[in-house]
Amino acid sequence: MGPADVLGFDPFDGGFLRDPYSRYRELSARGAIFRTPGGLLVATTHELCSALLRDPRFGRGPTPRRGAGPGQQAVSFLWLDPPDHTRLRGLVSRAFTPRMIERLRPRVEAITAELIAALPEEADLVSGLAYPLPVMVISELLGVPPEDHVRFRGWSEKLARGLDPMLTADLESETGQAGREFRDYFRELAATRRRRPGDDLLSALTGVRELSEADLLATCVLLLVAGHETTVNLIANGVLHLARHGLLAHAARRPKEVVEEVLRYDPPVQLTARVALEDTALGGVPAPKGTMVMAVIGAANRDPAVFPGPDRFDVTREPGRHLAFGLGIHFCLGATLSRMEGEIALSALASAAPGLELAGPPPYKENVVLRGPAALPVRLNRRPVTGPA
């Protein structure tokens, strides 16, 4: 049975990475919800994807969890259902309230300014801005030393691939190894923070008695990976579409609206899945207990019933009900931080380099769930700096 039989489309088709949305339109033409030959239910409309993400009868399903002893591990709360999800998410959510995130704004602005100032006239905006900005921010929040940032990229990229369906055995092995190395790193750093606490989230988490070491390590890996992977794609996708459509100037004037349209038009997270926790139904289609249901976020965000002219990139569109950060109890914990970083990065870049041009078509990461360019070559054409006559 091939990928198309399991998922309803073939993510390894050469054209999928360049344009998944034409495939999603084909899926939508098959119905609001349908069953693939492999038994997967696929929801494509905004209404049904929203209902799935909010419905407590659907969740992550049974997840093997082991103790915190040597060689053992837990999974992050991203993959858990209540009550474990509620308990673990609650322990870290206080660091991600809008009020706490707003306190980071001056630092995010300063990092952004430094990164843009260091860009050469011909630059790769992924490696020069979109990647380092969120990595530096979430690392500082966690208390990760700056000299260790470079170590994370390989681990994070492999763990991001681990979200994809239909992994090969080699990729599964690489993902597992990356996860072990990441946890080993945080185990050592957590031990250091217990001896010498700092003013950072990791130091605070090490003092929470209810948090086992296994849960602590899984949470740290999740926060660092999820805390930057989606934002890298948000910033890169934003620059790409603004430049393609000659709309970069709007980012300086209306950054909030621009970011919301980027999230709708080309969301960093394309797909998510839930499992029926009991015998139930979605959209009138039976979903016996254990049935896997996939919400195609990329299709739901272009549902014409909710977004007029859905395939048009329109930065003047009223910010609406896109599902880029999900809904329900698994709504992205870092959504406020990601939005702020995207707004600051796109606005600052538009002000510093209003003549920015793409320097060629970007190569895309080979991810299915997370979508964004692997590199984004541009010519900045910076605004000339003028001094006194």
Work out the average pLDDT over 370-374: 93
Q: What is the mean pLDDT of the chain?
A: 88
163-202 pLDDT per residue, tens? 777 556 677 788 888 888 889 999 999 999 999 998 888 8
126-158 pLDDT per residue, tens? 999 999 999 999 888 888 888 888 777 778 777
- What count of Cα atoms within 13 Å lies in the side-chain half-sphere of residue 84? 18
pTM of the entire structure? Answer: 0.90
Q: Tell which wins on pLDDT, 388 or 358.
A: 358
Assign 255 a pLDDT band (cuts: 50, 70, 90): very high
Q: How far lies 172's CA from each of 74, 108, 166, 167, 179, in Å?
A: 17, 35, 10, 6, 11
Specify the pLDDT at position 104: 92
Q: Which CATH number fits domain 3-63+86-379: 2.130.10.10, 1.10.630.10, 3.40.50.2300, 1.20.1070.10?
A: 1.10.630.10
- CA-nearest of 263, 175, 261, 185 to 217 is 185
In whole angstroms, give the CA distance from residue 214 to residue 75. Answer: 8
Whether the Cβ atoms of residue 282 and residue 41 lie closer than 8 Å to each other: yes
pLDDT of 103 over the 60 cut: yes
Specify the pLDDT at position 179: 84
Specify the pLDDT at position 73: 57
Specify the pLDDT at position 70: 39
In whole angstroms, give the CA distance from residue 338 to residue 37. Answer: 37
43-71 pLDDT per residue, tens? 999 999 999 999 999 998 775 443 333 34
Work out the average pLDDT over 350-366: 93
pLDDT of 308 over the 60 cut: yes
Specify the pLDDT at position 123: 96
pLDDT of 18 over the 70 cut: yes
Q: Tell which wins on pLDDT, 104 or 222.
A: 104
In whole angstroms, give the CA distance from residue 294 to residue 301. Answer: 14
pLDDT of 327 over the 60 cut: yes
Work out the average pLDDT over 343-352: 97
Specify the pLDDT at position 383: 66
Assign 298 a pLDDT band (cuts: 50, 70, 90): very high
Give backbone dihedrals phi and psi of 386, rounded to 5 degrees, phi first. -110, 145
User: What residues are paired with 286 via a beta bridge?
Assistant: 281
- CA-nearest of 16, 311, 143 to 8 is 16
Q: Specify the 3-state DSSP secondary structure of 123.
A: strand
